[in-house]
């Protein structure tokens, strides 16, 4: 079995070496490295060095040990020869499967869910994000407590619950975890309610949320459009916290743009649940910009993953514009054909080069025109204080000054229009419009 130093080293991800392994469908022609490419990116983000990759073709995982007995022996031999500190599985394992693998290979076995939890724990910065990661880690740990009770004081997700010997101590640990889950859940509920009040406090501003697969370029898009200064790295989950910034559209109108945490294939359900408060911004958005890495050979699968997570969150029916980013890296644009078959109205662009961004602006403006009210109002001189707000929050199509005030044709949300009418503006009537100018007189011979 592993030594304490090996376990601690693997737990904190201090450039420990690891063997990656997983199952692939029968007949899958990809090499082990190709099939485990995303897992390798995750391992690198968690500061592991990949010492080797191994896959097994089979229809279903072995219920006892995940891999078949022969492949498990091969994994143990490779791990021993490579002097690896850990093995990392591309799927979530049951406690019994993880225990059987650890017994065979003699080093810690980390499954996909635990690896992602480690990454989220490394990148959590705000109190909310730290609580969300802690809740997910606690929920993940509870059914695995019996296997780990001897080293809970250094448990991999950083829960901080201490364990001792014997069944009685395991019961104590369970009670401690349940109590902490209840406390964290209560605090996150308070934060979520506070966020909902914040969202409700700005009902007359159109809100756009950036969602999509991790590393699709959401933070880079946020920075390009708003100068937000959000951390944007070519690594998975470089940012976890939701950020909302004002975005000034061509013409002067301001909308709110929100950057959200990225999605991922086989995202642990504990994280989806615990990050519900963070993703609430997306649930309340008027429009989703679904970002996809158009240069990735797995773009189709990534788009499907995003759809599945949005459905899980109850946001599957929200209005959306699919954005195929990083097209500057696509040598043959025919590669995008399958994506356009799935999303015929998708916009291809590159945040890095700026290509296609005018098309994205046009698509957003077109959507605004489809969903908002186009109306003519008269803004009396006494209500001229609303001018700035109208120009910032609505699309002004025309304006004409009369003796009564300013006659304006605007495109605005129902909420904003209702408030303008309540604060002094009124719908224009025929008598408010200036008479048409007479046609020019014909030249006399």
Comparing CA positions, the residue from 425, 428, 420 lying closest to residue 394 is: 420
- Please report, in angstroms and rounded to a whole number, the separation of the first and last CA atoms in the chain: 111
pLDDT value for 188: 87
pLDDT at 102 over 50: yes
Q: What is the Cα–Cα distance from 101 to 152, expressed in whole angstroms?
A: 19
pLDDT at 8 over 60: no
Task: Kindly indicate the confidence band of residue 297, based on its pLDDT and cuts at 50, 70 and 90.
Answer: confident
pLDDT at 74 over 60: yes
For residue 261, give the DSSP letter: P
pLDDT value for 364: 94
pLDDT at 156 over 50: no
Q: Please give the mean pLDDT across all residues of the chain.
A: 83
pLDDT value for 162: 41
Per the model's pLDDT, the better-predicted residue between 322 and 437 turns out to be 322
pLDDT at 24 over 90: yes
Per the model's pLDDT, the better-predicted residue between 73 and 306 turns out to be 73
pLDDT at 2 over 90: no
Model pLDDT for residues 226-235, shown as the tens digit of each residue:
976 655 555 5
For residue 263, give the DSSP letter: B
Distance of CA 412 to the CA centre of its chain: 29
pLDDT at 240 over 90: no
User: Rounded to 5 degrees, what are φ and ψ at 89?
Assistant: -100, 145
pLDDT at 121 over 90: no
Distance of CA 81 to the CA centre of its chain: 39
Task: Kindly indicate the confidence band of residue 1, based on its pLDDT and cuts at 50, 70 and 90.
Answer: very low
pLDDT at 209 over 80: yes
Q: What is the Cα–Cα distance from 247 to 254, expressed in whole angstroms?
A: 5
pLDDT value for 127: 84
Answer for the pair 266, 114: CB distance below 8 angstroms, yes or no.
no
Q: Which domains does the chain have, with CATH numbers?
A: 4-110 (3.40.50.11060), 123-199 (no CATH), 202-369 (3.40.50.300), 372-432 (3.30.70)
Residue carrying the six token digits 């996909």: 112
Q: What is the Cα–Cα distance from 352 to 234, expressed in whole angstroms?
A: 12
DSSP string of 413-440? -HHHHHHHHHTT-EE--GGGSPPPPPPP
Burial class (CB in 10 A: 0-12, 13-18, 19+), 221: buried
pLDDT value for 237: 62
Model pLDDT for residues 258-274, shown as the tens digit of each residue:
888 788 888 777 777 66
pLDDT value for 279: 67
Answer for the pair 302, 222: CB distance below 8 angstroms, yes or no.
no
Task: Kindly indicate the confidence band of residue 328, based on its pLDDT and cuts at 50, 70 and 90.
Answer: very high
Percent of residues, the chain, with pLDDT higher than 70: 83
């Amino acid at each position: 079995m592993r030594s304490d130093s090996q376990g601690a080293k693997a737990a904190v991800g201090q450039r420990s070496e690891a063997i990656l392994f997983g199952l692939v469908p029968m007949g899958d022609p990809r090499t082990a490295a190709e099939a485990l490419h995303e897992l390798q990116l995750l391992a690198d983000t968690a500061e592991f060095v990949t010492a080797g990759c191994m896959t097994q073709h089979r229809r279903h995982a072995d219920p006892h040990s995940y891999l078949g007995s022969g492949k498990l022996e091969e994994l143990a031999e490779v791990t021993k020869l490579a002097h690896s500190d850990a093995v990392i599985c591309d799927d979530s394992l049951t406690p019994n499967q993880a225990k059987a693998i650890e017994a065979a290979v003699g080093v810690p076995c980390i499954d996909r869910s635990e690896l992602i939890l480690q990454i989220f724990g490394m990148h959590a910065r705000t109190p909310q994000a730290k609580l969300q990661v802690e809740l997910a880690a606690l929920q993940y740990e509870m059914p695995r407590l019996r296997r780990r009770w001897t080293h809970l004081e250094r448990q991999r997700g950083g829960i901080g619950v201490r364990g001792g010997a014997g069944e009685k101590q395991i019961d104590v640990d369970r009670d401690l975890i349940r109590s902490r889950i209840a406390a964290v859940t209560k605090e996150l509920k308070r934060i979520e309610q506070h966020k909902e009040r914040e969202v409700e406090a700005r009902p007359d501003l159109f809100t756009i949320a950036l969602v999509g697969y991790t590393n699709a370029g959401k933070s880079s898009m946020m920075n390009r459009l708003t100068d937000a200064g959000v951390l944007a790295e070519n690594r998975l989950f470089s940012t976890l916290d939701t950020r909302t910034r004002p975005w000034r559209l061509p013409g002067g109108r301001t909308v709110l743009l929100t950057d959200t945490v990225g999605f991922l294939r086989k995202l642990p359900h504990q994280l989806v649940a615990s990050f519900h408060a963070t993703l609430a911004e997306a649930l309340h958005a008027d429009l989703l910009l679904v970002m996809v890495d158009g240069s990735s050979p797995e773009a189709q699968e990534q788009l499907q993953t995003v759809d599945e997570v949005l459905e899980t969150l109850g946001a599957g029916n929200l209005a959306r514009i699919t954005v195929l980013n990083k097209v500057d890296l696509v040598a043959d644009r025919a590669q995008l054909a399958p994506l356009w078959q799935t999303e015929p109205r998708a916009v291809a662009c590159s945040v890095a080069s700026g290509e296609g961004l005018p098309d994205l602006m046009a698509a957003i403006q077109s959507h605004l025109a489809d969903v908002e009210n186009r109306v003519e109002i008269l803004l009396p001189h006494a209500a001229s204080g609303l001018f700035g707000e109208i120009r910032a929050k609505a699309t002004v199509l025309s304006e004409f000054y009369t003796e009564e005030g300013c006659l304006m044709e605007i495109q605005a949300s129902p909420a904003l229009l209702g408030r303008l009418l309540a604060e002094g503006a009124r719908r224009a009537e025929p008598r408010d419009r200036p008479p048409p100018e007479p046609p020019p007189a014909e030249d006399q011979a």
